[in-house]
Amino acid sequence: MKEYRVAIVGMGAVGREMVRILDKSSIPVSDLQLLVRKNDGAMIPFRGKEYLVKRVTPGVFKGVDLVLMAAGGDAAKELAPMARQEGAVVIDNSSAFRMAPDVPLVIPEINPEAAREHSGIIANPNCSTIQMLVPLKPLHDLFKIKRVVVSTYQAVSGTGKKAIDELKQQAEAYLASKKVESNIYPHQIAFNILPHIDSFLDNGYTKEEMKMVNETRKIFGDEDIQVSPTAVRVPVFNCHSESINIETEKPLPEVSEIKKILAEAPGVEVVDDVQNNVYPLAVNCSGTDKVYVGRIRKDFTISNGLNFWVVADNLRKGAALNAVQIAELLVAKDWL
C-alpha cells in the first residue's frame, strides 16, 4: 500500500483537530510534519509517537505529498503556493483561495468530482457554508432551491483558542461582579449576542455573510440561487447552529418524506422529535462528525417553503474533518 508524506501547517484549534482526525483516518502516513510560522517546540501525539512542531522554512515542503493548511489567510497566501511549487497538493482551510476560478471548493458529500480538477490547491469552504449545504444538497437536487434565508449562531471556537479563553474569563468575571474586559470581540460576548462576524462591507453585510452567498453558488454551480444571511456570534464554546428557511421551485412533499430524504443524505442525521423536546443541540454535537437537522416544518407563509434547524461541530465538519475527508478522497481516487 502506498504511503503518504503529510504536513499540517498551523497548530491552533483547527490544526490540532486535523492531527486528531488524521490520526484516526484511513490515510497511510509514512511521515508527518507539524509546522508553524512561530512558537514552535511543542510536542503533539500522532499514531503512538510524539512529533515536534517546527517552523516553516524554505524547502520544507519538498518531498511532501499532501499539505493540510490550517493557518490564516495571509499565511496561506504565502505558504500554499510555496508548497505547490515544491510538489505538494494543498488543502487550504482559509478563505484565501475559495473564490479563485482555478481552485476547487469542495464538500465531499456534495461535489467530490470537483477535487479532481485541482492544480495543486483545493479550498475548504467556510464552516457555516459547509453545515448549511450538506442538508440543502439533496433538497436542491430534488426540488430546486431558489432562495435561502439563513441566520447563524456561531460559537467562539470559530475565532480560535483566544476567544474560547476570553468567554471563560468574561463569564467568571461577570459572575464574580468584576469588570468584564473585551479584547477579541468589539463587545462583551459572555451572556451576550453579537450580530457581527468579520468586517462589514459597503453593502451592509459582513464578509462572513457574503462568504455564504458566494460559496453556495460556486459549490452548487448555480449563480441564480439567492442566499440572504445574517451571521451572529453567540456565547457558546463549540458548535455552530443555523436557522434555515428555503423556498423551492418544485412543490415539496410532506414533512415525513422530507425527513426521510434528509435521513438518507450522506453526512446528515435527523434529530427531530419535538413532542419529546428532541432537536439538535450544540452541547450534544460537539466532538461529532455529522450535520444534525431538526425542527423540520413547512413555512405556511409561502408556497414551497421549509424551515429547519441545523447544528454541527465547526472545528470538525466545519473545518478539520472536511479537509481530511478531501484528503481521503484524493488518496482513494488517486487524484494527488
Sequence-ordered list of residues with C-beta below 8 angstroms from that of 21, at least 6 positions apart, any chain: 316, 320, 321, 324
| Active-site residue, from 140, 239, 240, 285 | 240
CA distance 145 to 249: 6
The neighbouring-strand residues paired with 235 are none
Q: What's the grid cell of residue 291?
A: 450535520
The Cα 278–Cα 282 span in angstroms is: 13
Q: Pick the catalytic residue: 127, 140, 239, 285?
A: 127
Buried b (16+ CB within 10 A) or exposed e, 136-175: bbbbbeebebbbbbbebbbbbbbbeeebbebbeebbeeee
Catalytic residue flag (residue 240): yes
DSSP letter, residue 271: -
Q: Which amino acid is at 14?
A: V
CA 12 from centroid of its chain's CA atoms? 15
Active-site residue, 127 included: yes
CA 161 remoteness from chain centre: 16
- Residues marked active site are found at 127, 240
